């Protein structure tokens, strides 16, 4: 975690309880668009938007599920893919995971994960990098919140998650009905009504589902 990245996170986000998982506190931004422009998100460059600054619906639902069902991660090695703020990773650590690794492609997100883990008194190993063309390492559980929001990313994520599942990992995904979720590859575990930022989602509540990945291909119709 660079000093500059940590200072940026502290300057532009406040440490507040998460709406649907108040057991966890995160550095969260008050207003999305100004921060998006400031970090040179979709408006100016190829830098990723500040996913780290908000508690997205998929992550909130998945973190709630892990918090309420600690047996899903307790004593196991966990990977939080595309971790954003680190909400899901922190929930897993609080639920008793043996080791938690949170991976992100954005240096600011890595800083946010480290700061948020420290604020919640848990250990999370925050890592910068794109691992989607690789494997999940020694993870016994792979968690991914809100990762199916674009076609290109969804294809890469699904392939990664399938490799993880076929190597023996349990794969859980939190998703609020994003367009590119391949629902026929998953089994539903839980469904929640999650409060969200209206500025980000155009609604105040998103129905969010926690899914478990199946390794078998869906049967052809007919």
CB atoms within 10 A of CB 64: 24
CB 50 within 8 A of CB 30: no
The residue behind tokens 């869906």 is 218
Please tell me whether residue 90 adopts helix, strand or coil conformation.
helix
> Strand (E) positions, the chain?
14-17, 25-28, 77-81, 99-104, 125-128, 141-145, 170-175, 186-195, 205-213
For 4, 88, 104, 112, 157, the CA distances from 97, given in Å and listed in that order, are: 30, 12, 19, 20, 23
Q: What is the pLDDT of residues 55-64, one digit of tens each?
A: 999 999 999 9
Give me the pLDDT at residue 12, please.
87
pTM: 0.91
Task: Give residues with Cβ within 8 angstroms of 76, minimum separation 6.
Answer: 97, 98, 140, 141
Give me the pLDDT at residue 35, please.
55
The residue behind tokens 């400031």 is 38
Give me the pLDDT at residue 48, please.
55
Q: What is the pLDDT of residues 40-88, one digit of tens each?
A: 544 343 445 688 999 999 999 999 999 999 999 999 999 999 999 999 9
Give me the pLDDT at residue 46, please.
46
Average pLDDT per block of 10 residues along the chain, 222 residues long? 88 94 95 54 50 94 98 98 97 98 96 98 98 97 95 94 97 96 97 90 93 83 52
CB atoms within 10 A of CB 147: 26
CB 132 within 8 A of CB 103: no
């Amino acid at each position: 975690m660079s000093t500059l990245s940590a200072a940026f996170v502290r300057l532009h986000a406040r440490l507040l309880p998460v709406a649907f998982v108040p057991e966890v506190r995160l550095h969260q931004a008050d207003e999305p668009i100004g921060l998006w422009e400031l970090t040179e998100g979709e408006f100016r460059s190829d830098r990723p938007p500040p996913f780290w600054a908000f508690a997205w619906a998929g992550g909130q639902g998945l973190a709630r599920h892990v918090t309420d069902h600690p047996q899903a991660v307790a004593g196991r090695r966990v990977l939080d893919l595309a971790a954003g703020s680190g909400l899901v990773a922190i929930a897993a650590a609080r639920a008793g995971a043996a080791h938690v690794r949170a991976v992100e492609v954005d240096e600011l997100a890595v800083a946010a994960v480290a700061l948020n883990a420290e604020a919640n008194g848990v250990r999370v190993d925050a890592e910068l990098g794109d691992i989607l063309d690789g494997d999940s390492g020694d993870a016994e559980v792979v968690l991914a919140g809100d990762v199916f929001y674009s076609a290109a990313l969804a294809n890469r994520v699904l392939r990664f998650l399938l490799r993880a599942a076929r190597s023996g990992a349990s794969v859980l995904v939190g998703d609020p009905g994003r367009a590119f979720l391949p629902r026929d590859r998953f089994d539903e575990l839980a469904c929640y009504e999650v409060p969200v930022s209206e500025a980000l989602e155009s609604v105040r509540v998103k129905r969010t589902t926690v899914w478990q990945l199946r390794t078998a291909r869906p049967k052809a119709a007919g």
